[in-house]
């Protein structure tokens, strides 16, 4: 589905595996660093990875995270075969969340996931179908720094 650009690394995400999310984020960060990518971009990629993976963990029922490289951008792809996002516009709003209570009690599901991904990436594509799943592609440009 998204095998267009060269793959840097791919990781399987298990449902409700909250501990693994931080690990993937730091793994992606270290990989990007080893490619000589500026630390600011590495950190943004790591935040996007973390938030996207948490979404896959909480809502998507697990899936696949991959890190890809385009000519002038890195792409973080999160794919799942979960329930899909019914109202994407609402989901993009800060504080809107459909996370179940037990997830919120763990301190997650604050409704900042997608807004944060949007904030830290340069381009965001979400392809979602209710009942079929969601594919999120977040692009971070390698050209030039930017202010947050």
Partner 1 sequence: MSHGIKINKEACKGCVNCIKTCPTEAMRVIDGKVRIMEERCIGCGECLRSCRHRALSLKENDWDFLSSKRSLAVVVDPALCFQFPWRPYPDVLSQVLRNMGFDPIFKDAALAFDLTALAEARLLDGNSDKRGPMISTYCPAVVRLIQMKFQELIKNLSPVENPLEICIDLWRAKHVKHNVPAALVAPCPARVAMVEDPVGRDASSADYVISVTRMAREILTNSRSVEHLEDSARGSNSRWVRWASLGGETAHIKEFAEKPVRSLTVSGMRNVIDLFQELELGRLKGIDFIEARACNFGCIGGIANVESRFIAHQKLKMLASSAPTDEEKLLLDELYETGIWKLQEEIMPVEQAPLGMDLAKAMEKLEELHSVYAELPHLDCGTCGRPTCRVMAEDIVKGSGSIEDCIFRVRERIAELSEEIHVLSKKLIHTMTPEGENEDKRDM
Instruction: Closer to partner 1 by CB, 69 or 92: give it.
Output: 69
Q: Are 26 and 46 in contact (CB under 8 A)?
A: yes
3-state secondary structure of 15: coil
Task: Tell which one of 33, 83, 98, 115 touches partner 1 (CB under 8 A).
Answer: 33
The answer to whether residue 144 forms part of the interface with partner 1 (CB under 8 A) is no
3-state DSSP call for residue 7?
strand
By CB under 8 A, is residue 36 in contact with partner 1?
yes
> What tokens does 143 get?
């050209």
DSSP structure string for 34-84: HTT--HHHHHHHHHHHHHHHHHHHHTSSSEEEEEEE-SSEEEEEEEE-S--
> For residues 91-130, which are near partner 1 according to CB under 8 A?
116
Question: Which residue among 13, 47, 77, 138 contacts partner 1 (CB under 8 A)?
Answer: 47
37 binds partner 1 (CB under 8 A): yes
d(CA 54, CA 37): 24
Q: Which of 15, 17, 31, 111 binds partner 1 (CB under 8 A)?
A: 31
Residues that bind partner 1 (CB under 8 A): 6, 8-9, 22, 25-26, 29, 31, 33-37, 39-40, 42-43, 46-47, 50, 69, 116, 142
């Amino acid at each position: 589905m998204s095998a267009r650009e060269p793959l840097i690394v791919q990781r399987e995400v298990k449902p409700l595996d909250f501990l693994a999310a931080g690990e993937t984020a730091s793994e992606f960060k270290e990989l990007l660093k080893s490619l000589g990518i500026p630390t600011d971009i590495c950190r943004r990629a790591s935040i996007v990875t973390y938030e996207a993976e948490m979404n896959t963990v909480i809502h998507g029922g697990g899936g696949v995270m991959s890190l890809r490289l385009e000519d002038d951008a890195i792409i973080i792809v999160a794919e799942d075969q979960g329930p899909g996002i019914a109202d994407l516009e609402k989901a993009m709003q800060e504080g809107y969340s459909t996370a179940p209570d037990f997830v919120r009690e763990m301190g997650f599901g604050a409704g900042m996931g997608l807004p944060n991904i949007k904030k830290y990436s340069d381009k965001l594509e979400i392809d979602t179908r209710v009942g079929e799943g969601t594919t999120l592609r977040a692009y971070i440009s390698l050209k030039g720094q930017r202010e947050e």
